[in-house]
Structure 1
Amino acid sequence: MADEGKSLEELLFDISQEAMRDAGLTADEIDGIVVASNDQFDGRAISVMAASGSVGGVDRDILSTPSASEHAFVMSVLRVASGQYETHLVVSWSPVEASSLSEAQRLGADPYFHRALPLDELSGAALQASAILASRPEAAELAKRLSARNRANGKHAYPEAAAVGSDAASTQAGRWPIEKDMVSRPVLGAVAMVIASEDYVARHKLDNVAWVRGMGWATEPGFLGDRDLSTAPALEEAARRAYAEAGLSDPRKALDVVELTDISPYQELLAYDALGLSEKSKWQDDVASGVFDRGGDLPVNPSGGVATINPVFCTGLIRIAEAARQIQGKAGRHQINNARTALGHAASGFAMMYQTVLVLGQNKDGALA
């Protein structure tokens, strides 16, 4: 969540400088920059132009990924892994100045069918929730429990942000079966991260690094009628690739903490299954056991997730950043003890159309960058 008293340019400058200071790098040591923003949310064409000066992109290699914030991270890792770059700055932001974020999202929908509904991201999440309920009726009560847990986690991790998010019931329209208190209202937000190659880290003797040990991403069709919304095949494929690169055969045992995108608690349940953390038939037992609670064997969203802080466009990159901070021991109030391997999951688009999975670790075995 960001200071709404600052201009967008000031906000991006501050967050970029803070990320570089935290990494021990200066702007001159950044080889390339990848930003992620949404023209419709920003209310301007080619929104990256507003960021170029603020993030140090003038006369420098800078790219934009307007599809999703997490795609900027993927692009940066691939560029560094290519050997053509040693360092990258990744920045994403999400304003709330559009007169209607719902209308801005509708513009990104299929123009022949979905725009006429009208379809926004919350509507897509509600359609997915209803599909999950049709196959697993117990999901309704589980969703309420997860929602309460995530809000409690958020209140512990970010008390001020949680207080802002708690008024969602009065500002956010409900979409059955998603209840108003299961979502947080959109807020202004920005996030920045620095990526460096293994050689750069070794040469400059950088310590306390969160290594990218595995990465996978996949996309489902944009037309919802072509999909079974009670499943998440793109997430299954993204997880398969990330686990294979990281050498994980049993993620439930190998991971110490998970940060996943929970636009709704129903999507969180679906992610449990697709990520290999809990099969649908075991949802009830696992949630009741508290295994995914902050004090459980595998804490999920100790930050409170999207249910606490919801800068809509950049929530995916925030999940990755939260996972990295856990590995570095810099997560603050919600730090999980002995977090050596973390998973960052990002989902975006209608009904989690885009899926990205990162496995981060304290050691560099299998690291890409």
Structure 2
Amino acid sequence: MTYKVQPGVVGCAIRPVITGQHRSLEEMMYDTVQLALNDAGLSIDDIDGIVVASNDQFDGRAISVMMASGPVGGVDRDILSTPSASEHAFVMGALRVASGQYRTQLIVSWSPTEASSLSEAQRLGADPYFHRALPLDELSAHALQAAALEAQVPGVRELAARIAAKNRHHGEQANPKTRPEAGTARWPLEPSMTSQPVTGAVALILASPEFIAERGIAQVAWLQGMGWATEAGFLGDRELGEASALKVASHQAYAAAGVKDPATAFDVVEITDATPYTELLAYEGLGLCDRAQWAEQVRAGTFQRGGALPVNPSGGVLTHNPVFCTGLIRIAEVANQIRGRAGDHQIDNVRCGVAHAASGFAMQYQSAVVFGREQGRAA
């Protein structure tokens, strides 16, 4: 790492789907934080600072972080908020620990479904002169991206269907008690290639090596590298059939981690698969597989659980889609794989993994995070 100290994830709480109406949004946040603290064997008194990520429109409140401070433990404690993406909260918290100014950080994000129309909430976040008039929401943007990719890569639709089936099968193994609903069709996307929004939440705890050593914490996912980049906001200024920002973000992460060959460096990968087309683009953007090899690798089962490089053993976004916090969930899933705490979808002997987080219209925000079991660089 190029930072002053190397952060490690010591606690996680992943709640990709929360059902029932018996708990308020504030209670849901509190429950999630307490689960993460219990997983780490810590109390809120051990936390130096908090970074939260939420969407005011989804929450149906103005300045949602003000409401969140109490349930997440922010009263009389340093707290920051980012409305751009859940994964950006992780980046902020990791940088705070890496700076040496904080020993611990709590990262929390949530995504309710109380808004009468999440599609309308997303439209209001779009460019007011062109995109709102379309009208544009995230699913429509993903559909435009899928159409662009179909125009560039013959036969990609069959591969997308295979990836969707893979992730749904993984999701059934990881969460046998909950079955995801098929999403909404937006040409060329079929319902099986998307998923309905659900209520969910996630929390992680980051700590410095000094703190980890003092507490004798054994199950640690060491942050070895991370990178992030942003595409142009206007879709007409972008090549939707490419993932240019992800290539920049992964290059940053791999340079910090010392990863030379990403196709062979990792034991597990979690990708923000809002659609199977976005997963294909992430294969390329992360350097896992060039598009010339997509067909061969997908048909060979390379990215299935039990394959050479398992991708989304959790089932990914196609299994459960808490829209705003899916990126942070991917980061937490890889951290749990490294820590050996992924439950029914744990992959054997995971030593290094990469998480891809994407948010916004057609993967506007891109991030890559590399974790390892050993402190230091991946290779």
2:325 corresponds in structure 1 to 314
1:246 corresponds in structure 2 to 257
1:1-369 aligned at under 5 Å gives the runs 1-4=17-20, 5-161=22-178, 163=179, 165=180, 167-168=181-182, 172-366=183-377
Q: Structure 1, residues 227-259: CA drift from partner, whole Å, max 9, x if none? A: 000111100000001011111111111100000
Q: Which amino acid aligns with 1:116?
A: A
Verify the 8 A CA contact 1:3 1:11 in the aligned structure 2: no
Structure 1: gaps spanning 5 or more residues: none
Partner of 1:258: helix, strand, or coil? strand
Distance in structure 2 (CA, Å) of the matches to 1:44 and 1:261: 26
Q: Which amino acid aligns with 2:219?
A: N
TM-fit CA distance, 1:339 = 0.7
Partner of 2:71: helix, strand, or coil? coil
Distance in structure 2 (CA, Å) of the matches to 1:302 and 1:344: 12
Q: Which amino acid aligns with 1:25?
A: L
Verify the 8 A CA contact 2:69 2:75 in the aligned structure 1: yes
TM-fit CA distance, 1:16 = 0.3
Under a length normalisation based on structure 1, what TM-score does the superposition of the two structures give? 0.96
Verify the 8 A CA contact 1:343 1:357 in the aligned structure 2: yes
Q: Which amino acid aligns with 1:19?
A: A
Q: Which runs of 4+ in 1 moved over 3 A?
A: none
Distance in structure 1 (CA, Å) of the matches to 2:249 and 2:349: 26
Structure 2: gaps spanning 5 or more residues: 1-16
Verify the 8 A CA contact 2:184 2:194 in the aligned structure 1: no
Under a length normalisation based on structure 2, what TM-score does the superposition of the two structures give? 0.94
TM-fit CA distance, 1:265 = 0.2
TM-fit CA distance, 1:160 = 2.4
Partner of 1:53: helix, strand, or coil? helix
Verify the 8 A CA contact 1:182 1:307 in the aligned structure 2: yes
TM-fit CA distance, 1:173 = 2.7
Distance in structure 2 (CA, Å) of the matches to 1:181 and 1:271: 19
Distance in structure 1 (CA, Å) of the matches to 2:148 and 2:67: 40
Q: Which amino acid aligns with 1:96?
A: T
TM-fit CA distance, 1:192 = 0.4
Partner of 1:287: helix, strand, or coil? helix
Partner of 1:212: helix, strand, or coil? strand
